[in-house]
Amino acid sequence: MASHHYHHENHDQNGLKQGEVVVVMVPLPAQGHLNQLLQLSRLISSYDIPVHYVGTSTHNRQARLRVHGWNPLATANIHFHEFPTPSFLTPPPNPNSSNKFPSQLVPSLLATSHLREPVATLLRALSPTARRVIVIHDDLMASVVQDVTSVPNAESYNFQSISAFATYWFVWEFEGKPFPIDAEILKEAPSSESCFISDFWDFANTQSDFREFNCGNIYNASKVIEAPYLDLLEKEEMSKNKKQWAIGPFNPVAISDDKKSNQRHKSLKWLDKQAPNSVIFVSFGTTTSLSDEEIKELAIGLEKSEQKFIWVLRDADKGDVFEGEVRRAELPEGFEERVEGKGMVVRDWAPQLEILGHPSTGGFMSHCGWNSCMESITMGVPIAAWPMHSDQPRNAVLVTKVLKVGVVVKDWERQGELVTSSTVEEAVKRLMASKEGDDIRKRAAELGGAVRQSVAEAQGHLNQLLQLSRLISSYDIPVHYVGATTHNRQARLRVHGWNPLATAHIHFHEFPTPSFLTPPPNPNSSNKSPSQLVPSFQATWHLREPVATLLRALSATARRIIVIHDILMASVVQDVASIPNAEAYDFQSTSAFATYWYIWEGAGKPYPIDAEIMKDAPSSESCFTSDLLDFIASQRDCRSFSSGHLYNACKVIETPYLDLLEKEEMSKNKKQWAIGPFNPVAISDDKKSNQRHKSLKWLDKQAPNSVIFVSFGTTTSLSDEEIKELAIGLEKSEQKFIWVLRDADKGDVFEGEVRRPELPEGFEERLEGKGMVVRDWAPQLEILGHPSTGGFMSHCGWNSCMESITMGVPIAAWPMHSDQPRNAVLVTKVLKVGVVVKDWARQGELVTSLTVEEAAKRLMASKEGDDIRKRAAELGGAVRQSVAEGGVSRMELDSFIAHITR
């Protein structure tokens, strides 16, 4: 349970909240750069952070006039500062130049040096009333913001307006090519000299001396698209150990298109009449002019292709887009009449994002400016790449050779040659009317979906929610952890893998419940379901009133109360519906795979599913006792008030099942977040500590990957006969082991005697040095994280699965009850990071020593086991990466935190 409190706010006479963070945005005065930082301003201001957008009157006016895809009211928290610069030349673009670089913009770029003093004055004015002033500047505006170093509470961040792929090549070259790189891509990457003119290089070089003072780098990039190149940019030789954030796409990813609006652009009305994916959009941005000859060839090529098109035919921008005449390019005689109904020529500004987002648009012939690439990729539209200058040739390589979501119109090697009508015709047909084009379109659609998803909105049961409490409290949000005295004591006693001081921001509330029966577990039961715990579950019904009282008490002083409850505690928190500023989120402590099956069955099996996996998935009836199913059913009526679902799941492991859970029939249109693993992923093991567990000291003496860890959790007791067979099997396998041999928990783990299971006579003596038996609580996470541990014989409780997968340790699966049989299918059949000890179909049979021996040898001493261990290690690495800064689970948690603190 988290409470998000109001903070008392003071305001100065300018409306600035004293002590808040403010952002100053300093773009380069060219359309692609202006637009990206205005879009980023919108995103940052949506966090209720004031943004000050700095530029000349001309360029601020240009940016605001052309921004599209979002409501102009979204600029309410963006303050525009318009500073004068001396007059500068605004020559028209030269369409006949052999080099398409926009040299006409260079005078306006040089004039930006005069912005230094007014920007410094603004920073000094904002500084006294702000807690921190954040300056985000275009990479090519570093000299303008150099005075940030003289403002004590100011920090600056460098913004790269080009792709990470292109940035990587430029930085790698600039740093003297510090390490070898992919030869195949190196062969494709155009030289820097061929992409720019000398005037621009001179301007760019004036900025390099002023980049040292920035605190980090921001990219309009997405890890879904460019993870390998973002990783390379993080190398010390490239990043100089500065932080970086890839937070693109900046453009809106969902376009609201009101078809009844009188303001709707004519191109969108025309698109409404066309078939899906039938139109190619042709536009070359704001910095390139085509010659009369190039226009003629392009027109003839489009006509001959017989594909429908929208062509934005405009001259390139000048330094001041509002000054002087604009050339009107001429089309071949009769062209527009001949293609009427088949094509549309637009000679003014066009709503590019809405056109790309329209279902009739199936391709984009583009110059490959990074804005255009990001918008096209986001909307799932493939590209016919015709690069002109700057970063565009390298972006074209990314689109066509790396991502494979486009075709080449013009190879950069032939940059000086005229693109003929037959070349245009061929490229258009390849993209719009071929099997190759359909395949590319499918890849583009899949990538677009992943990119749009990337910006979408952030243990036994006791242990998982305590771990989640730790994670949420690390965001400086107070967490109230509620339970019976016995169970809170149990949770705190057993939590492991992190510093107990991490609970400093967690408030434990211990409420009384009536006495309940705590029968011992029955090791000889034919059903391993922990029926001994049912009385303690039923006793939790008495927590409803004290929880409601706590919520009402917190409500008075909190802006919002977030209640996170185990799915099986819905009845306890049902009064959340009566508290106006409270929201509830149910937490699933089982895998997404198991959860999916339960919900699918509960929803009446609303659609067909994978027959192969269905064959392996055990029935619910075989996994639970009737009294547990009754308790579960009692919670069902109290779940409707939930605002969303949290999973201790990771998209690296369970994306297909998380996606299925998002289906409307399953989710009821409620949000969900997969924010696992909750357990720490890096274990700090102080070998000199006197408190270190004996099992870890023993592991220190063993070879890497040589020990199998055997533990069946806290809810299962083995019979004397099962223990005997397991012991003989481990001995015969001749593998080293640590075996945690404890009886299952009762409802109150602190009450009464605990059974001490007996081992075969002489077993521990015979295996001294080969194996260790632990009869008390063992530090499972640290054991799994130790380099000597090479396998885990487990009941497949989801806590144990997640800890083992996180640490890269393969599993010998021996499920006992509840979700465990389905988790075992996930581990062995889907992820293929484990072997089966006991098939669930044979659940009533005794597991013999021979079966144990075979499973231990398969996992620990065979080629199959080595392959499984390798897969497990790779999956573990990916899962650990997912909770690092920028990882998919970290982003899911950030998204959830942003959602609840909105």
Are the C-beta atoms of residues 551 and 523 closer than 8 Å to each other?
A: no
3-class secondary structure, 461:
helix
Which amino acid is residue 671, in one-letter code?
A: K
What are φ and ψ of residue 768, in 5° steps? -60, 130
Cα(753)–Cα(230) distance, integer angstroms:
57
Structure-derived torsion over alpha carbons of residues 41, 43, 48, 53, reported in degrees to the nearest 10: 0
Cα(178)–Cα(578) distance, integer angstroms:
62
Which amino acid is residue 4, in one-letter code?
A: H
Query: What length is written for the chain?
Result: 902
Cα(422)–Cα(180) distance, integer angstroms:
39
Cα(250)–Cα(378) distance, integer angstroms:
10
Catalytic residue (choose from 52, 68, 138, 461): 138
For the chain, the C-alpha Rg in angstroms (whole number) is 32
Spatial CA neighbour of 30 closest among 253, 237, 285 = 285
Query: SS3 letters for 325-352?
Result: CCCCCCCCCCHHHHCECCEEEECCCCCH
> Whose structure tokens read 């994916």?
277
Cα(488)–Cα(495) distance, integer angstroms:
11
| Catalytic (active site) residue 138 | yes
What tokens were used for 361?
Answer: 């648009």
Are the C-beta atoms of residues 139 and 156 closer than 8 Å to each other?
A: no
Spatial CA neighbour of 4 closest among 438, 583, 609 = 583
- Greatest alpha-carbon span in the chain: 101
> Whose structure tokens read 């009844």?
260
Query: In whole angstroms, what separates CA 623 from the centre of its chain?
Result: 33
| Catalytic (active site) residue 147 | no
The strand pairing partners of 11, in sequence order, are 17
DSSP H or E run through 247: none
The answer for residues whose C-beta is within 8 angstroms of residue 495's C-beta and 6 or more apart is: 463, 466, 467
3-class secondary structure, 303:
helix
Cα(642)–Cα(563) distance, integer angstroms:
9
Are the C-beta atoms of residues 711 and 796 closer than 8 Å to each other?
A: no
Q: 443: exposed, middle or buried (C-beta count within 10 Å: 0-12, 13-18, 19+)?
A: middle
Burial 318-349 (b: 16+ CB within 10 A, else e): bbbbeeeebeebebeeebeeebeeebbbbeee
Strand 383-385, strand 361-366: pairing: parallel
Cα(761)–Cα(772) distance, integer angstroms:
15
Query: In whole angstroms, what separates CA 394 from the centre of its chain?
Result: 26
Q: Distance from first CA to last CA of the chain, Å, rounded?
A: 16
The answer for residues whose C-beta is within 8 angstroms of residue 206's C-beta and 6 or more apart is: 143
> Whose structure tokens read 């300056």?
135
The strand pairing partners of 673, in sequence order, are 646
Strand 279-283, strand 243-246: pairing: unpaired
What tokens were used for 841?
Answer: 């179909």
Burial 747-777 (b: 16+ CB within 10 A, else e): bbbeeeebeebebeeebeeebeeebbbbeee
3-class secondary structure, 214:
coil
Are the C-beta atoms of residues 785 and 681 closer than 8 Å to each other?
A: no
Q: Is the peptide bond before 228 cis (omega within 30 degrees of 0)?
A: no
Residues with catalytic annotation? 33, 138
